[in-house]
Chain A
Amino acid sequence: MATIHVDGKEYEVDGSDNLLHACLSLGLNIPYFCWHPALGSVGACRQCAVKQFKDADDTRGRLVMSCLTSATTGTYISITDPEAVAFRASVDEFLMANHPHDCPVCEEGGHCHLQDMTVMTGHSLRRYHFTKRTHLNQDLGPFINHEMNRCIACYRCDRFYREYAGGTDFGVFGAHDNVYFGRPTPGTLENEFSGNLTEVCPTGVFTDKTHSERYVRKWDMQYAPSVCMHCSLGCNVSPGERYGEIRRIENRYNGTINHYFLCDRGRFGYGYTNRKDRPRVAFIAQDGKLAQASTEDARARLGGLLRGAKHVVGIGSPRASLESNFALRELVGAENFFDGHSDAEHVLVAQAIAILRDGPVASTTLKALESGDAALVLGEDVMQTAPRAALSLRQAARGLGQKLLAQQKLQHWQAGALENLAQDHYNPIFVTATHATRLDPIATETCRAAVEDQARLGLAVAHFIDPAAPAVAGLDAATEARAQRIAECLLAAERPLVVSGTGAGSAEILQAAANVAWALHARGKTVGFFLAFPEANSFGLGLMDARPLGEALDALANGAAEVAIVVENDLFRRAPTARVEAALDKARLVVVDHQDTPTTRHAEVLLPAATVFEGDGTVVNNEGRAQRYFQVFDTAYYHPDIATTESWRWLRRLLSDVRGDGHDASTFDEVSSACAAVLPQFTAITKAAPQAKFRILGLKAARTPHRYSGRTAMRANLSVHEPRASQDADSPLAFSMEGFNGTGTDNTPADQRPGALVSYAWAPGWNSPQAWNKFQDEVGGHLRGGDPGVHLFTANTQASTTYFTHIPAAFVVDNTTPRVVALPQIFGSELLSSRAEPVASRITEAYVAMNGTLAATLSLAEHDSVAVTIAGSVLSLPVRISDALPDGIIGVPDGAPGIPRIATGAQATLKVGAAA
């Protein structure tokens, strides 16, 4: 700690911080542009000048950049000194000299850091009357708009994109005051985290193109705290709605998970909720086709169907909330409730949960991954299956720079020095995969092999770390040496990381990863253990111990069960088409979903479910953290005929119809508490967020900013008589700007907003995402009201280390019938995001990848067409030669158009012949 004096007042701050960081953490306002809590200081913009004095008696002082000055004890500064104020105003005026007259037609307007800082510095009148510098723009693909005229040359984009996120196709060009931030040539930004440029850029150079198409100002949107549904990490997001459509996703700060950044799948994958082809009313099958029906008719039909049926099975879903899965389990009975994963994933998820819950090492958090200093990524292509984790892993690799800084007695925030010292040197990261991954460029060593061989390597590493772990017999000398190298490196690290997941489709990989983590734990290391799961709520559904899907399909196919209720799931993604069709042809199918899928087309009754934006629910992320997502808007407000509601509410209504008890108005808290009471593993979920009766200073929390406009006109076309604002019985949030909208203060717990109820970042004078500063205990730290989410179980540190002893046999190469591996794709593999237009445009074309040896054996060249038989269907695919693939393995992109879904992990052998 250090004591600093700001404008005559004494404050206790963290002495390792810079003055800007320290003052912002204290709640003092200093304008800034180039500094960012996650990117450090470079002193490029000169906006954060304050006056520093030698001691208490010095009255003359000198101007310093607060972002480049340490907050050491005995620092005397003044923020309000007239000279400093005038200096900051003139810096802002200089930055504005070339700024175009664009605000009305700029997507950043209203949440623009440059606007905020211009108001804060008091610059209000243009004195510069010469010509303005202009730049030509580039087309940066379907996600990002480029408008270089607005640039103030703070270098944040470059530092984020190249240094933080590792992008290679973007940079700074030109010289002196002509600098240009863009790609060498126009084209789609390749990096998976390009969307963060829209938030990192303090002005409107990079804006969200998907939002621009249906643009509204930040103050005009309705928000709710939400959770990303596009992978298992549970990043917190802040979706904005206007006129009944979701208009954009922005990052919602969570100091233990995603903090400031999201991946592009999460940010741009929301379009599925706005699709016109979504079921929004109930449908009943008539003459083999689904016809629109009233909710009453559908319920009457379903009541009869369910009461008359002897055996009803319910199939849950890893993309549905805990409450929806629980309500289904309640309706059909625990013994008739089936897992919505494919059978292969069912096994993997159960294995991963068992490892994390019963083993001695619990999962680490996404944020904590960044502080690791050596990592083994075993079998999981994190960039494609859990992209945000790859960004965290990159920070772990970059952590070496921090060590070098400390050696040079420099501060951790000196970003320029860090970049010069670290150059291309990273903390050791070992990556194993069947194919080339996007982490390879920063990997110390990569190992491309079949899953069995990767698992064997992992097990060997574990054995080298702790001889009590089983040894692997029959390893070749190279693998043996590699295992030893990895083991030594992990042991030498202060905080080694072991990252794996279900993405490789192998329980043996999971077991090997567990052995490594447990071995490190046994050797007294603080190990960060991180497993990626298949989908947003895979962990939660897995904890319900449902029976595997295959049993349900068999029961339906052989007539043991007659009715199937499928909740938010497309069975054709979960099992082979023939098997699903055999089951659905016999069954009477009820589907509750928000997307039109091949499964819904078999339904006798289809009920319109709410998407994550239209309802309340709880999901459990890959670390076992239960997080609540809240309804963003009331769908019926603009379209009274829309009948969508949460699956759990539909199922509760059906339950009441079946029971005939007339209790069909369940609230979220009722269902959630019932879930917690019936299934003790979920006891903690009621604490994931405050319950509906919670109030802050007697108020619900507001969903919309106080400037929210057009309340008396937005639905006046329907009727000039305005209805009462929608009421929310399920949460402590109001569908209105009327409610608590404060950031809370340090010392009064009464006005503290729990982190789980912060819908969007806004504080007086801070309209941009930089407003998160005002919600944090210290800038870049945790939310003052607590980071959202609650762990369902705590680390089982007492558990004894019982290593997995099964050693898989080595993979046998057979180039005549190579093994097919589904290559996970950030864009395409996940169902919902791939239904958003901008993401769909980034999905790769179908291809088959193989290494040069195999291609030569079959005398194939790049782009040649080849007939590939996968799961019974013959596909004609162009060849892509990738020598990263090991012998005997070919890869097809998961989710590419025309390729049947090979459930992650399902591996089939097949024959490759010349093109027909």
Chain B
Amino acid sequence: MNDIKRILIGFWSNLVTLWLIFAHLWRHKDTVNYPEEMPYLPPRYRGRIILTRDPDGDERCVACNLCAAVCPVGCISLQKAERPEDGRWYPEWFRINFSRCIYCGFCEEACPTAAIQLTPDFELAEYDRQNMVYEKEHLLISGTGKYHDYNFYRVAGMSIAGKPKGAAESEAQPIDVKSLLP
């Protein structure tokens, strides 16, 4: 008697399942037709890494090496150089090995100039792994990325061409050493 009851319940359950699956034909779809249709990713999605420029159009990266230091897989390396015409620090070259990157976003958090940012681009597949090594020319974009206003050199005390000592935010005019006035 119990066996017959169990068979009937099972049969019913199967019918319900079939019906539910059939009914999904008219439900709202969560999947998209990737790649024809692109999914929406929030701006703070942690995808492909870029180097941005400050609002004046100059490279933001000052080659401080903090992103490289914080990177848990050690996939960032760069070399500091100084621009002879204005004394700004910049990376002579900047390399990210995306075949090692785990997209943790630590580099963006460590960056004191908002230069390095993660973007919602995740399409990084390559046939040849060597192509996943990105140099500065592949990383540097023309815009400010997510942070529009920040310009490190307006805050920093180091003088560069066009911004002498005392011209940064919250800076007093340079001291006259020869003055004994209080």
Contact = CB atoms under 8 A, between A and B. Distances in A.
Interface of A: 100-106, 109-110, 129-137, 147, 149-150, 173-176, 178, 180, 212-217, 219-220, 243, 707-714, 716-717, 719-721
Contacts of A130: 170
B129 interface: yes
Contacts of A707: 69
A714 B65 CA distance: 13
A248 to B, nearest CB: 13
Given A219-B69, A220-B65, A712-B97, 17 more contacts: A100-B168, A102-B157, A105-B156, A132-B157, A132-B170, A134-B173, A136-B174, A214-B79, A214-B80, A215-B63, A215-B80, A709-B76, A710-B78, A712-B73, A713-B74, A717-B95, A717-B135
B152 A104 contact: yes
B172 A716 contact: no
A133 B175 contact: yes
Contacts of A176: 182
A105 B132 contact: no
7 residue pairs, one from A and one from B, having the closest CB atoms: A100-B157, A710-B77, A104-B64, A709-B68, A711-B74, A713-B77, A131-B172
B96 interface: yes
A175 B179 CA distance: 8
A100 B154 CA distance: 11
A704 to B, nearest CB: 11
Interface residues of B, number: 50
Contacts of B177: 135, 173-174, 178, 180
B172 A132 contact: yes
A702 to B, nearest CB: 15
B119 interface: no
B159 to A, nearest CB: 8
Interface in B148-182: 152, 155-159, 165-166, 168, 170-175, 177-180, 182
A676 to B, nearest CB: 41
A101 B65 contact: no
A713 B76 CA distance: 6
B62 interface: yes
A175 B180 contact: yes
Interface in B50-80: 62-66, 68-69, 71, 73-80
Contacts of A175: 180
B146 interface: no
Contacts of B44: none
13 contacts: A100-B168, A104-B89, A134-B175, A137-B165, A149-B158, A173-B178, A174-B177, A215-B63, A216-B65, A708-B74, A709-B76, A712-B97, A721-B129
B97 A134 contact: no
A100 B156 contact: yes
A110 B180 CA distance: 36
Most chain-B CB neighbours within 10 Å: which of A129, A137, A217, A721?
A: A217
A720 B99 contact: yes
A109 B64 contact: yes
Contacts of A110: 65
B100 A104 contact: no
A436 to B, nearest CB: 32
Contacts, number: 140
A103 B95 contact: no
Nearest to B115: A104
Interface of B is mostly: loop
Nearest to A710: B77
B68 to A, nearest CB: 4
A104 B170 contact: no
Contacts of A149: 157-158, 165
B133 A720 contact: yes
B113 interface: yes
B51 to A, nearest CB: 14
Contacts of A147: 157-158
A712 B75 contact: yes
Contacts of B170: 129-132
Nearest to A242: B79
Given A100-B158, A105-B156, A220 B68 contact: yes
B64 A136 contact: no
A294 to B, nearest CB: 27
B77 A720 contact: no
A719 B131 CA distance: 10
B109 interface: no
Given A100-B158, A132-B171, A710 B64 contact: no
A104 B175 contact: no
B181 to A, nearest CB: 9
B145 interface: no
A105 B64 contact: yes
A633 to B, nearest CB: 15
A215 B133 CA distance: 23
Contacts of B68: 220, 709-710, 713
Contacts of B69: 217, 219-220, 707, 709
B158 A133 contact: no
A217 B129 contact: no
A708 B112 CA distance: 19
Nearest to B131: A720
Contacts of A135: 165, 174-175, 177
A713 B95 contact: yes
A131 B76 contact: no
A106 to B, nearest CB: 8
Given A147-B158, A719-B130, A105 B77 contact: no
Contact of B95 (A105, A150, A716): A716
B65 A134 contact: no
Contacts of A109: 64
B86 interface: no
A104 B174 contact: no
Interface string B82-114: 100000010000011101100000000000110
Interface string B6-37: 00000000000000000000000000000000
A103 B165 contact: no
A877 B170 CA distance: 55
B134 to A, nearest CB: 9
A104 B171 contact: no
A407 to B, nearest CB: 36
Contacts of B158: 100, 102, 105-106, 147, 149
B41 to A, nearest CB: 25
A136 B89 CA distance: 19
Contacts of B95: 713-714, 716-717
B91 to A, nearest CB: 11
B172 A134 contact: yes
A709 B180 contact: no
Most chain-B CB neighbours within 10 Å: which of A102, A103, A712, A721?
A: A712
A278 to B, nearest CB: 20
